[in-house]
A and B are shown apart, each in its own frame.
Chain A
């Protein structure tokens, strides 16, 4: 089989498997978790490589498995240039982060938990970038929100970590909800959830009346995930995460997921004014706010967080320009930002690790303590500042060029180059601060530890990333050009425009803007003291405070609202549920504008039926009227059940009549046994308002059911049962269509149902274990608990009744009967023996464990189904043939009978286990004090 037919889901799912393996292996050796994660990442990469040739050749690989494709749900993966670029970023930077984290984590941190979270996150990110089905994309999108929550709150003992994680989850989770809405609208417009279809229908989407809501919902997801203004405030708080997490989430992955969506949906959504204003506006605001604020953060990671916000704004702004050149610049900057920002976060982590502080007011002059780290930090910072010969310079030049060319369209747009130059100035200033304030500028001020170089392997990931910054910056054509080209092609869904990655384009406006940014930026940095002092004199909006206030208000409101409905009382909750049902049904009745009754000819009434109906009605009312005298009301409810079975007899449902009759016996015996332990009477309720309310609800329900039943019964209908009637004999091999439906056509339903029944039986057994309960009242028990006549007869009857059960069972496929009914009859037979002879007597002779009976029943039923699968048919396909037995005659043997045997055993096991366990309660030694 060709690897390219199925490698993508493996690439995505392997990290999830590795997560479990990492968590497990860490029990034995804490470093094993890191090894498992690293190896899994390498395997994922290796599985991706074979596809590279095709992708670089311009192909798109789509691997598709139908799931519920009628509903647009497919398990579908896609690999094109854009997905390839992002997958490489995720996997390669992921691998570096794994190496780094193995050295970063302290001995008391749980390695297993960390790497398990990290790998789940990696898998979710890969899922986003490789999803072909949009609903599947949303699922992975939500998974990144959840796994990033776990990663940010990794140090659970810290309050800031918990709060930061909760904030990130709330904001990005809300965005995920918006994305689901947007994707569903997209699917509605296009008629498919497959990305290929959506990307091909750009004009259809842009001209659709739902375009604006779709765009806004998807942009909400993008802006929340990629920390765009006004949702940017969660990102700085997420810095409470361990630094490897920040290096991963905030450089190459989590925050780039939003940007990825912009690139992905670019051909489908971009090019309108709404896109330009919304995307461009948010990008510009974020770029400026991020760049400005970053300069004033004293915390190394705080500076980097705001710088990340600013760079994300830059990329968003580029997409907002909506031109093909701008897309090239945006994707190029995604790569560059990922490399230099990951290395800077790692450097910040190294500094924190080796000095014990991240405060730039204390960190000074580290150059002489850690020269190697300093060199790396300086190069990466200069890339961030956009200094020539480094990768940041190239994409920043392209960005400036786009800002300039965009400004020519419109007389007010000259402001754009000015604003982006200002952002450039601040970006140079904060980059300089990261270098100068930390590595130069005097001596460190009371640091917790004496600084020194970190372990060698902590620097290797940074080394590699910095080498990439340099290589891309100096030789762009030989390094980044091919992958950039295919990524841009995939994002645009067309051939990219001619662009040049050259270092030198002559003296032009963008170069002048860069020069201004560098010059003024350096000036701003060296005049920073008054600026910082000025910044700190003013109050700043504390987004966290507002967020927590809003959150608290929302929680208070929902608590208030739930308290209105849920007063901790079942009666109250049930009444509300009924009331809501009545309101909805009333709406249905009112909006139904055909005549109430149809014109189907009704059956004539006759006296016997009238008597039966009268008995049902009287018995139901008596059950109600006598409900405080429990035994009486139990007796009359038995009458209702018996007459119900007569109704089934009357209206051509012999199977139902048999079932109802035998269930009735078992139910009443069970309730009688239970009543022994419960009060014999119910206290009188005096709350007239509650009684009145309940009476109203009851009467309204009754009237509604009456009307509804009449409305249906007076109309004709077309049934889907023609199929069952026509295929019962040829397809299922049985003439009793009801039974054939149960064991063959709808066998899967029946399997579910016997599982429920088995669980009920086992649940009852579990609840009654170790239960100490005494009869509520003193009963005068007859000294002759097991009368001889009853004993004798029950013993005589047992074989007969079992024979009846076998008979009913065997004929079930062709005549009324079957596993359910036979099971109930057999249960009744056994229960009678238990009742008349006592539990000890019976159990000493019937040494069958009812648990085993239930288990075997389920096993037989499931095995029958699986056997069909083994020979290549769908689950539970039935096979049958007729054989001739000597005495019995022609006998049909269907595999469905084995399934029915399973049903039989589960029914017997569950009923007998319930009743016997209940009966056994009274055999416990009595406590004279009562309860």
Chain B
């Protein structure tokens, strides 16, 4: 059973890390959310896995699981929500102010191809011009 949990945590971590390293805000937020799940499960499992022994005091029960990691993780889940909410709004703000959702505020990075044909091409080129100027200033 422990192996299953460890596998799940590690796949979530790997996927989370890869997404966190992406260039656009939305995948980064998803990546951090995945990482948060993984971290929460990991911290929780530090109390070792117990089945059917919730830490609610009951004289009939034979033992209890470790309540401390649970208390830590409970607040961690809520804080992770607060962080996700803050980040996604930050992403919105960035898009509103910079006109795009690249994490560095660039419209199209050098190694990206925008396949979506939602908008006319002219806007892209004008935007790109604007942002290359910005690049040089850096």
Q: Which A positions have Cβ atoms within 8 angstroms of B? A: 568-571, 574-575, 578, 600, 602-606, 609-610, 612-613, 616-617, 620-621, 623-624, 627, 630, 633-634, 637, 640-641, 644, 647-648, 650-656, 659-660, 663, 666-667, 670-671, 674-675, 677-687, 690, 694-695, 697-699, 701-703, 705-706, 709-710, 712-714, 716-717, 719-721, 724-725, 728-729, 735-738, 741-742, 746, 749-750, 753, 756-757, 760-761, 763-764, 767-768, 771-773, 776-777, 814-816, 820, 824, 907, 910-911, 914, 918, 921, 930-931
Contact = CB atoms under 8 A, between A and B. Distances in A.
Nearest to B18: A698
A709 B3 CA distance: 9
Contacts of B26: 630, 675, 678-679, 682
Contacts of A716: 48
A436 to B, nearest CB: 61
Contacts of A918: 89, 92
A742 B65 contact: no
Interface string B71-99: 10111011111111110111111011001
Given A617-B8, A641-B33, A760-B85, 14 more contacts: A578-B17, A600-B48, A623-B34, A641-B37, A663-B78, A677-B92, A679-B118, A694-B18, A698-B15, A702-B13, A702-B17, A737-B56, A768-B93, A777-B118
Contact of B10 (A634, A694, A709, A738): A709
Contacts of B58: 735
A821 to B, nearest CB: 8
Contacts of A574: 20-21
B24 A764 contact: no
Contacts of B30: 623, 627, 633-634, 637, 671
A617 B14 contact: no
B24 A603 contact: no
A830 B83 CA distance: 21
Interface in B1-39: 1-27, 29-30, 33-34, 37-38
B48 A713 contact: yes
B75 A644 contact: no
A21 B16 CA distance: 53
Contacts of B16: 620
Nearest to A697: B17
Contacts of B112: 683-686
A134 B39 CA distance: 41
Contacts of A603: 1-2, 49, 51
Nearest to A679: B101
Chain B CB count within 10 A is highest, among A571, A690, A742, A749, for A571
B37 A644 contact: yes
A640 B12 contact: yes
A741 B111 contact: no
18 contacts: A569-B104, A606-B1, A609-B1, A613-B7, A624-B15, A644-B40, A670-B84, A678-B25, A682-B22, A686-B111, A701-B14, A702-B17, A710-B6, A712-B46, A721-B66, A737-B57, A738-B74, A820-B75
B110 A764 contact: no
Contacts of A653: 44, 54, 65, 70, 73
Contacts of A652: 50-55, 65
Interface residues of B, number: 95
A674 B33 CA distance: 15
B44 A773 contact: no
B19 A624 contact: yes
Contact of A602 (B1, B7, B109): B1
B33 A620 contact: no
B103 to A, nearest CB: 4
Contact of B33 (A637, A677, A814, A921): A637
A656 B1 contact: no
Nearest to A752: B75
A763 B93 CA distance: 12
B131 interface: no
A737 to B, nearest CB: 4
Interface of B: 1-27, 29-30, 33-34, 37-38, 40-42, 44-58, 64-68, 70-71, 73-75, 77-86, 88-93, 95-96, 99, 101, 103-104, 108-116, 118-119, 138
B21 A816 contact: no
A624 B19 CA distance: 7
B45 A709 contact: yes
Contacts of B64: 725, 737
A757 B8 contact: no
Contact of B88 (A610, A612, A671, A824): A671
Say whether chain A's binding surface is mostly helix, strand, loop, or mixed.
helix
Say whether chain B's binding surface is mostly helix, strand, loop, or mixed.
helix
A637 B35 CA distance: 11
A234 B3 CA distance: 64
B11 A620 contact: yes
B85 to A, nearest CB: 5
Given A603-B49, A756-B79, A571 B21 contact: yes
B75 A713 contact: no
A828 to B, nearest CB: 12
Contacts of A569: 103-104
B99 to A, nearest CB: 6
A703 to B, nearest CB: 7
A640 B34 contact: yes
Contacts of B89: 674, 763-764, 767-768, 914, 918
A702 B14 contact: yes
A157 B83 CA distance: 44
B116 A667 contact: no
B111 A690 contact: yes
Nearest to A773: B96
B39 to A, nearest CB: 9
Nearest to B85: A914
A571 B23 contact: yes
B41 to A, nearest CB: 6
B74 A655 contact: yes
A931 B118 CA distance: 13
Contact of A750 (B50, B68, B75): B75
Contacts of A656: 44, 70, 73-74, 77
A609 to B, nearest CB: 6
A278 B50 CA distance: 65
Contacts of B6: 705-706, 709-710, 713
B54 to A, nearest CB: 5
Contacts of B86: 760, 763-764
A640 B34 CA distance: 8
B122 to A, nearest CB: 13
Given A705-B10, A709-B10, A698 B17 contact: yes
B109 to A, nearest CB: 8
Contacts of B5: 613, 647, 709, 713
A624 B18 contact: yes
Nearest to A653: B70
Contact of B78 (A677, A683, A736, A753): A753
B106 to A, nearest CB: 9
A627 B27 contact: yes
A736 B68 contact: no
A721 B67 contact: yes
Contacts of B109: 685
A684 B3 CA distance: 35
A768 B33 CA distance: 22
A620 B78 contact: no
